[in-house]
Structure 1
């Protein structure tokens, strides 16, 4: 690559890195794995930067790559070989109004299958439409809708009864 595309890549990454880390953390619930996901995503972006730079919506392209890296990691033997222990996650300081509710929601989200978790993160955290989420996951809009409904139902069942009603309703979407 010449210096101009490299500079454009560096500027894009510098601007979007915090957003990519947060999105990756929501998918995998571990800051170290999130960094690994982002790193693998950035390598793929660098290798195909001409295609990324030509995309009409770079952020959508990058989110799609990140989600695909996450889902493909979940399909490999790594996810079956590694035993995760039940310890408190290391996370940056939170500004949640109710930390206990936030922990309960994150715990319930972590219990979802990877594809359902990806649907919820893309729909409600990244604020993508049903069609944008379907495009990112390479599935139909109907699949996104059904996976969203199943994931929200699972979250409602997983949350304690004493959680605030607004959390149990799934943010009204």
Structure 2
């Protein structure tokens, strides 16, 4: 087994994988658990994974699949809301408000749609790469991304705190 190669992979990929896992789970602790779980599974198969010339794709795919299966298992369990989810934080920076709205809206998406948006817009993978990671067609990635973006647009206010009066329902 190539433990040094695996160590180098983990060192190089820990931050990107943790960021992706956070966007998939919406919780820092769950994200770290997800990455550790996937890396543990990957370590057992590392000899085969590294021969595939695409260990990043394999690990990302395993992470998305594990996140989806965790969500299915936890679907019955009540998920407590964070204080930040219940009411947007009163922040003087519009960008922070928009980011919070985006994260809340992202958590409401189905796991596969969330995975597609995270991989496309946060990890900057191409549609073909996402299709390869998820094991589906490029058309499926495109349609789910389109529907997911539409749902995000419905839930994210593009003008937090300072929307023009005409956009807040008032007539000028």
- TM-score normalised by the shorter chain: which range applies? 0.7 to 0.9
Q: Does 1:140 align with 2:137?
A: yes
Which of these two proteins has the greater Rg computed from alpha carbons? Answer: 2
Among residues 80, 87, 104, which one is paired with 2:83 in the alignment? 87
Whole-angstrom CA distance in 2 between matches of 1:154 and 1:10: 39
Give the alignment of 1:45-84 within 5 angstroms: 45-76=42-73, 78-84=74-80
Give the C-alpha shift of residue 102 in structure 1.
1.1
In the alignment, structure 1 segments of 5+ residues that lack a partner are: 90-95, 165-173
CA RMSD of aligned residues (A): 2.0
Runs of 4+ in 1 over 4 A off after TM superposition: none
Among residues 141, 154, 158, which one is paired with 2:155 in the alignment? 158
Among residues 100, 105, 112, which one is paired with 2:102 in the alignment? 105
Whole-angstrom CA distance in 2 between matches of 1:71 and 1:135: 17
TM-score, with length taken from structure 2: 0.82
Among residues 6, 10, 22, which one is paired with 2:19 in the alignment? 22
Report how many residues are paired.
154
Whole-angstrom CA distance in 2 between matches of 1:105 and 1:135: 26
